Chains A and B, each alone.
Chain A
Amino acid sequence: EAQVTQNPRYLITVTGKKLTVTCSQNMNHEYMSWYRQDPGLGLRQIYYSMNVEVTDKGDVPEGYKVSRKEKRNFPLILESPSPNQTSLYFCASSRVNSYEQYFGPGTRLTVT
Chain B
Amino acid sequence: EDKVVQSPLSLVVHEGDTVTLNCSYEVTNFRSLLWYKQEKKAPTFLFMLTSSGIEKKSGRLSSILDKKELFSILNITATQTGDSAIYLCAVPDTQGGSEKLVFGKGTKLTVNP
User: Which listed residue (A48, A103, A105) contacts B99, Cβ 8 A?
Assistant: A48
| Residues of chain A lying within 8 A (CB to CB) of residue B92 | 99
Q: CA separation between A2 and B103, bound complex, in Å?
A: 24
Q: Looking at the assembled complex, report how far the CB atom of B80 sits from the nearest CB atom of chain A, in whole angstroms.
A: 23
Q: Looking at the assembled complex, report how far the CB atom of A41 sits from the nearest CB atom of chain B, in whole angstroms.
A: 7
- Residue of B31, B88, B104, B105 ringed by the most chain A CB atoms within 10 A: B105
Chain A 86-108 per-residue mask, 1 if CB under 8 angstroms from chain B, else 0: 00001000001111111111100
Contact B42 A45 (CB under 8 A): no
Q: CA separation between A103 and B88, bound complex, in Å?
A: 13
In the complex, whether B43 has a CB less than 8 A from a CB of chain A is: yes
Q: Looking at the assembled complex, report how far the CB atom of A19 sits from the nearest CB atom of chain B, in whole angstroms.
A: 21
State how many residues of chain B have any CB contact under 8 Å with chain A.
Answer: 22
State how many residues of chain A have any CB contact under 8 Å with chain B.
Answer: 26
Interface positions of A (Cβ within 8 A of B): 31, 33, 35, 40-45, 48, 50, 56, 58-59, 90, 96-106
Name the 4 nearest CB pairs between A and B, nearest first: A103-B42, A42-B105, A43-B103, A100-B45
Q: Apart from A33-B101, A45-B101, list 5 A-B contacts with CB within 8 A.
A: A44-B103, A45-B100, A56-B98, A56-B100, A99-B31
Interface positions of B (Cβ within 8 A of A): 31-32, 34, 36, 41-45, 48, 88, 90, 92, 98-106
